[in-house]
């Protein structure tokens, strides 16, 4: 039987990681108003993609 390499991340941890990434994006842009949703959605996509690749089953 093969062990799974998958890791379950809790919702609170995921939200924190996304918020931190979105904050960095806003900071890099000089906190220009009007890009909050864009920053959040980009950060969410990046974090989820990272987790997809980091915790895939290794065969």
pLDDT the model gives residue 7: 63
Extract the residue ranges of the chain whose pLDDT is less than 50.
1-2
CA–CA distances in Å: residue 54 to residues 3, 12, 30, 50: 16, 19, 31, 6
pLDDT the model gives residue 10: 82
pLDDT the model gives residue 27: 97
Distance CA 22, CA 25 (A): 5
pTM of the model: 0.72
Distance CA 42, CA 17 (A): 12
Instruction: Give the start-to-end residue ranges of the domains of the chain.
Output: 12-55
pLDDT the model gives residue 1: 46
């Amino acid at each position: 039987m093969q062990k799974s390499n998958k890791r379950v991340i809790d919702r609170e941890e995921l939200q924190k990681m996304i918020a931190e990434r979105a904050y960095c994006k806003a900071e890099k842009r000089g906190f220009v108003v009007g890009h909050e949703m864009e920053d959040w959605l980009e950060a969410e996509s990046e974090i989820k993609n990272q987790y997809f690749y980091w915790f895939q089953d290794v065969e």
